[in-house]
Amino acid sequence: MFIAAKLLAFMSQPLAWVALLILAALLAGRTKPGWASGLSTAALSGLLLLGWEPLPDALLRQLEAQYPPIANSQSTQRYAGVIVLGGALEPAYVWSVPGQSALNDAAERMTEASQLARLHPQLKLLFTGGEGELFGGNLSEARRARMFFEQQGIAPTQMLFESASCTTYENAILSKQVAGVNPAQPWLLLTSAWHMPRSMAVFHKAGWNVTAFPVDFRAGTHTPWTQYSMDSGAQKWHLALHELLGLLAYRLAGRI
């Protein structure tokens, strides 16, 4: 399943499709020049279109709008804790400076979880994530998360860790096996807003009693028609396609 997830990640990268179109154009160049011209035009058009952000934002907005944000100051007395999904930490090899954490562009998963834990010390903080890289080394994502939370002053007695999962499905299944965890109790589920629909469906199917606590919103409520960035646009397309394909794959596999 882990290899399949990595294949899905590749298929959802729009630049990979542009590269495939360019390769196809090169291969067709000698024998079918008409095809080569059409493929080259499609590759260039696709590349230019990637940077126009209103399109991927519209897809992301559909995902993010399914679960509204919750103020971290809201009462949490009825919850046993907050489940924090991995995916916000840079790979192990980047963690080379002692005493410093390396977060990626989903950092709100970690920073908002820390804020929740400080504001509501009665909440258990359950981080779930093993190693999301094929060759991640010995410093698992859970160990890196522990280092970050300790740097933020979170008490060790407040933290729980699941360190073997590599996918969202495994997050839900393996977290149930952590000592002291009762999935029938109400829990908050914290992950990126665009990832929340699939996460909630998986956790509910696995028997968890969870309430969505979305963070890391990317699309906002409105995108100016003039918003254009090759880098940002390609990244947003990747997020949107990855989640939509992930939802389809999980539904076909009976996991949601």
DSSP structure class, residue 94: G
> Residue 2 is encoded by which pair of tokens?
């882990």
The model's pTM:
0.88
Which whole-number Å values give the CA distances from 103 to 87, 90, 143, 191, in the listed order?
9, 5, 14, 14
Rounded average pLDDT over 54-82 = 94
pLDDT value at residue 244: 94
- Sorted by where each begins, the domain ranges of the chain are 2-64+228-252, 81-215
pLDDT value at residue 134: 56
pLDDT value at residue 3: 60
Which one-letter amino acid corresponds to residue 76? Answer: T
Q: What is the pLDDT confidence band of residue 130, given thresholds at 50, 70 and 90?
A: confident
H runs (alpha helix) in 86-151: 108-119, 141-151
> Residue 88 is encoded by which pair of tokens?
């916000």
Nearest partner of 150 among 130, 133, 125, judged by Cα: 125
State which fold the 81-215 domain adopts.
Rossmann fold (3.40.50)
Helix 14-28 and helix 230-252: axis angle, to 10°? 100
Rounded average pLDDT over 17-32 = 80
More confident residue, 147 or 38: 147
- Chain segment 188-234, per-residue pLDDT in tens: 999 999 999 999 999 999 999 999 999 999 999 999 999 999 889 99
